[in-house]
Structure 1
Amino acid sequence: MRRKQIALLVVRGAAAITLMASTVMLAGCADADLPQLERVLADIRQSPGGQPPSMTVAMPESRDLTYLYSDGRSPFLPPEAIAQGGLNRNEGALAPDQQRTPEPLEQFPLQELRLVGTMQMAGRQVALVASPDGNVTSVKEGNYMGTDYGRIAQVSAQEVRVIERVFTQREGWQERQASLVINTGSAH
């Protein structure tokens, strides 16, 4: 019996402590400036409505500018190249044959072409290349593809290696290596 009385006292004591702690915590939420805030909000609610004030800033009137130096020296060319009249696109040991009839895959950038397969034909490795227009074209070593005069140097089971020719004003015609790979179908 005594245990029941002790347990009842412990429960009542815990409830009293909880009630006091809650009261102290709620008292901390009271703010002395709350009535002032309520007055300000009441004033705002009573003020007439309407459109908020415009926040646009007047922009100054723009005028067209004319670039006066477009016929001048290019800042990207060395002075000696300009003195020589620049580089001619049709000259140089690496200049592509401009008279050659372009092949079908030369109208697409190399990055847009996909290698979809390879096969042996008459003892030669042949690559099957898909173009963005949906056509698949068979190519072999010596054929051209890409917009940078890319000549196919090698066709293997997984890759087509291409040597492209690109023109720069500074160095003239230069060769660069690129390839189409069958597993990713992308140019490297």
Structure 2
Amino acid sequence: MNELQDFVQDVKERRPAPLEPVPQMKQIDNFIYEDDGRRSPFEMDEQSVDAITPESAGDSGLAPDPLRRKEVLEQYSLDSLRMVGTLDQNDTIWGLITSPDGILHRVTVGNYMGRNYGVVTSINQQGIQLTELVNEGLNEWVERQASIKLSE
């Protein structure tokens, strides 16, 4: 124990190594953007919106909305999601879903789930019904019914 105390005392008495100087930051020249008649890169004009919107949605007229913000459960395939129950709150029925990472989510009619633009159409004690939009070729979208059953 004495050797350990002597070692600690020796370490405390040592002079600390000098610190390296702070590196000098390179000075960056200011840049002033001048549009010179070009469109702003921070705003969408109608041509940009038209470029990402499908011109034709095939004969069916179905197509997902490319400007809609995706919901959390759309990053998972339906078979990786598990329904663990329902919740009735303020006249709204919620489906309780666990994602593969173990997080509990709640969904109601109108929420989106799965990778095929699945929108929740109904929720009951036995499961959740969805309508998916499946791509069957260039701008050919077909509706498909899917469901997630309550896990035992």
Q: State the TM-score, normalizing by the size of structure 1.
A: 0.49
Query: Alignment partner of 1:165: what SS?
Result: strand
More helix by share: 1
Matched letter for residue 74 of structure 2: E
Identity percentage of aligned residues: 39
Q: State the TM-score, normalizing by the size of structure 2.
A: 0.60
2:82 alignment partner in structure 1: 114
* Aligned-CA RMSD value: 1.9
Where in structure 1 do 4 or more consecutive aligned residues deviate above 6 Å?
none
Displacement after TM superposition at 1:183 (Å)? 3.5
Displacement after TM superposition at 1:171 (Å)? 7.9
Comparing both chains, which one has the higher relative contact order based on Cα–Cα distances under 8 Å and sequence gaps of 6 or more?
2
Query: Alignment partner of 2:151: what SS?
Result: coil
2:120 to 152, 165, 174: 152
2:63 alignment partner in structure 1: 95
Q: After the TM superposition, which residues 37-76 of structure 1 pair with which residues of structure 2 at under 5 Å, given as runs?
A: none
Displacement after TM superposition at 1:170 (Å)? 7.2
1:133 alignment partner in structure 2: 101
On the 8 A contact 1:158/1:183 being kept in 2, the answer is no
Query: Alignment partner of 1:96: what SS?
Result: coil
Superposed CA offset, 1:142-180 (max 9, x none): 000000000000011111001000111278100000000
For the residues of structure 2 that align with 1:178 and 1:96, how far apart are their CA atoms?
17
More strand by share: 2
Answer with 1 or 2: which has the greater Rg: 1
Query: Alignment partner of 1:132: what SS?
Result: coil
For the residues of structure 2 that align with 1:138 and 1:171, how far apart are their CA atoms?
32
For the residues of structure 2 that align with 1:99 and 1:171, how far apart are their CA atoms?
16
Contiguous gaps of at least 5 residues in structure 2:
1-52
1:59 alignment partner in structure 2: none
Query: Alignment partner of 2:64: what SS?
Result: coil
